[in-house]
Amino acid sequence: MTAASVHLAAFFQNGRSVASVLKDNASLAMHPTEPLDDLARFSFEHAGNLCEKEHGCLAYHRAWSVIRLLLRNGAVPAGTDFFAEGLARAAVDGRCRVLLSGAADSGLAAMVLGALARCGLSGELVLAERCATPIEQNRRLAAHLGRGIELHHGNILDLDCAAVDAVVAHSFLNFLPAELRPDLVATWARVLRPGGLLLLHQKLGDLVWHLDAAALQANRQRLEAAALARGYRPETVQAIGTAGHAFWTRPRVTPSTRDSELREMLARSGLECLSVNGLDRLSVQSPSYVPGISPEIRQSLIVARRPL
């Protein structure tokens, strides 16, 4: 059992541990089939028309899915066990309505659907995202799976939706300027039902990127070699390499959030912080991770609850 499940098991209703729920459903599919080849090509080809210039997200959304496909073997965001444990706790009568707070592409939805299935839960997904590129990718994922995803395209701070049992956010907090992060946490608190859970997978602390030219070039070469091996035409391979370089060198929002700042925002929003646990090893499956460049800070798993 993970450190997070130790905390969650203490709050688990009906006497069954989180571990037993996961064990009973271990034979269920981990993640639904995600047509990542098509979705990566879609974002690479259409992000230029869908991403709004003032958002500054083109370099991010054009490259994310392609890098995830070519260098990460299509890996979904890290933390399936953690989110499965939290969603099992948040569910009511075998069902869980989940808000996805932002999305790089369709990977977060695929991961959460897999986590729900692993717990034997039926799920209702709500996605709030300001950029049309991941909105369209998730619309296509939903059509591919033959299921619905409630899509809200716009500023999450203006989100108007029915209450949810859980809010899931993965490395999202630091995308907002520091002055807006308390409003984001307050929005999460507002849309949660009483007793609902906030589940965060987030780096906390001072994040510093080291733009080492040799490391960037080596990573670009790995990306281009993977694209060539997958059958992309040479001119597209070069464009993918350029997009990858733009992605890894894009400007970041600073400063990043510290543990104490997050706890204060949770308290001010009326959320009870149940646990903040650092991972015991560095997470390297994100498309953002580049050895020698990315901050060597481990992700934290955060669980908070809206009081009854």
115-132: average pLDDT: 96
Angle at 293 between CA 290 and CA 296, to 5 degrees: 90
Pairing state between β 192-203 and 299-305: antiparallel
Q: Is the peptide bond before 255 cis (omega within 30 degrees of 0)?
A: yes
Single-letter amino acid code for the residue at 260: S
The domain made up of 3-210+248-305 has a fold known as: Rossmann fold (3.40.50)
- What is the Cα gyration radius of the chain? 19
Instruction: Report whether 281 contacts 184 (CB < 8 A).
Output: no
In tens, the pLDDT along 135-184 reads: 999 999 999 999 999 999 999 999 999 999 999 999 999 999 999 999 99
Question: Using CA atoms, how far apart are residues 94 and 117, in angstroms rounded to an integer?
Answer: 11
Inform me whether the pLDDT recorded for 296 exceeds 90: no
Contacts of 229 (CB under 8 A, 6+ apart): none
CA distances from residue 184 to 3, 29, 57, 134 in whole angstroms, order as listed? 26, 33, 19, 19
In tens, the pLDDT along 13-51 reads: 333 444 444 444 433 344 678 999 999 999 999 999 999
Inform me whether the pLDDT recorded for 10 exceeds 70: no
Contacts of 304 (CB under 8 A, 6+ apart): 197, 198, 200, 266, 271, 272, 273, 274
pLDDT value at residue 153: 98
Average pLDDT of the chain is 89
CB burial readout 279-300, b (16+ within 10 A) else e: beeebeebbbbbeebbbebebb
Single-letter amino acid code for the residue at 211: L
Strand ranges for the chain from DSSP E: 95-101, 122-129, 150-153, 164-170, 192-203, 272-278, 299-305
DSSP output for 116-129: HHHTT-EEEEEEEE
Question: Using CA atoms, how far apart are residues 71 and 20, in angstroms rounded to an integer?
Answer: 34
Question: Using CA atoms, how far apart are residues 308 and 294, in angstroms rounded to an integer?
Answer: 40
